[in-house]
Amino acid sequence: MKTDELNRLLERFYKGESTEEDERDLIVFFNGDIIPEGYETEKALFSYYLTAYKVPEPSSDFEARILAGINESDKNRMVWKFRKFILPALGTAAAVLLLAGSYFFFVHRSAPRDTFSDPKIAYAETMKILMDVSSQLNHGAIALEPVTRINDLTTQSFAAINKSTRIVDKNLRNLQSLQKAIEITNESFAKSTNKK
């Protein structure tokens, strides 16, 4: 194909005025072996069109897959209808049951009653219960006496350790003072022997 004819076909193609035959000629030309310089973009474009025109044949099970997809869509639609209508109804029923249960719980709840009709008997029973509780608390306090003794011994031990620590610390300070005095004496002695 000559360059003038090629430019004319390309110009018609880009303006949208080309026919199917013109486009087929361009596709055949740009998929050939000899392409003039400067037409690399058009070669890539028309190479794409060559592959785009090839439409594959449907597979043998194409219709079966379409029908299976339609059936699956129908099943999904049935599930959606179930969810759309049944679930709100179940939610409403649960709310009604909750309200009815709350009503019976709060309205028909029995008020606390006195267990004794005679106040003297009630007082005596209360005193008996309080004495029992007091006895149990005293018994628990007696059981804790060894723990109290251990706590006292621990406090005394720490006090003795702190006292001995203070004595050791005081003696260490005295030893440090003595060490400094010895160092000063040694320095003075070393200076006096170096001068001679």
Tally: H helices and E strands in the chain: 6, 0
Band of the pLDDT at 131, cuts 50, 70, 90? very high
Rounded to two decimals, the pTM is 0.29
pLDDT of residue 168: 87
Q: Minimal CA–CA distance to 41: which of 32, 51, 33, 30?
A: 30
Please state, in angstroms and rounded to a whole number, the distance separating the CA atoms of residues 144 and 135.
Answer: 14
Tokens read off for 24? 């087929």
15 or 112: whose pLDDT is higher? 15
196 or 174: whose pLDDT is higher? 174
Can you spell out the DSSP letters for 12-58?
HHHHT---HHHHHHHHHHHTSS---TT-HHHHHHHHHHHHHH-PPPP
pLDDT of residue 113: 66
Query: Cα–chain-centroid distance for residue 145?
Result: 50
Tokens read off for 172? 């260490």
Please state, in angstroms and rounded to a whole number, the distance separating the CA atoms of residues 100 and 93.
Answer: 11
pLDDT of residue 38: 82
3-state DSSP helix/strand/coil % of the chain, to nearest 5 = 80, 0, 20
Task: Say how many C-beta atoms besides its own lie within 10 A of residue 95's C-beta.
Answer: 10
Please state, in angstroms and rounded to a whole number, the distance separating the CA atoms of residues 170 and 158.
Answer: 18
pLDDT of residue 139: 83
pLDDT of residue 151: 85
Average pLDDT taken over every residue of the chain = 82
pLDDT digits (tens, 9 = 90+) for 134-188: 888 888 778 878 878 888 888 888 888 888 888 888 888 988 988 998 999 888 8
